[in-house]
Amino acid sequence: MANRWTGSSSSGFTDGEYFINAQAETKGVDANFTMPVVMRVVGGDGESTYFRQAIGGSKTEFELGPFASQPQKLVFNEFFSVLSKDKVKKR
């Protein structure tokens, strides 16, 4: 069975900086599965910032940031480097 990723994200503002709170759920993988996934965040100024986050088990929660401006877009699995079917939604 192929890896399946579902995820959601929301942005928050703390002490003058923005953060993205995200969660990724995996299906069709072993409980000990861990894989680094590259993500891209597009800021309010149009600039892109790249992150690598280890995703594992059945559910991973993580925070990205801080950002000087409110993030406009989160691209999960940016380079399709993880063989999966992705479903990402904004909370």
64 CB-near residues (< 8 Å, 6+ apart): 19, 20, 22, 39, 41, 51, 53, 71, 74
CATH class of 3-78: mainly beta
- Are the C-beta atoms of residues 65 and 18 closer than 8 Å to each other? yes
- Are the C-beta atoms of residues 59 and 19 closer than 8 Å to each other? no
Rounded to two decimals, the pTM is 0.73
Domain boundaries, the chain: 3-78
- DSSP, collapsed to helix, strand or coil, labels residue 19 as strand
pLDDT at site 1: 34
> Per residue in 19-43, pLDDT tens?
988 888 888 888 888 888 899 999 9
pLDDT tens, residue order, the chain (91 aa): 344 555 566 777 778 889 988 888 888 888 888 888 899 999 988 999 999 999 888 888 899 999 888 899 888 888 776 655 556 555 5
User: How many CB atoms within 10 Å of residue 34?
Assistant: 12
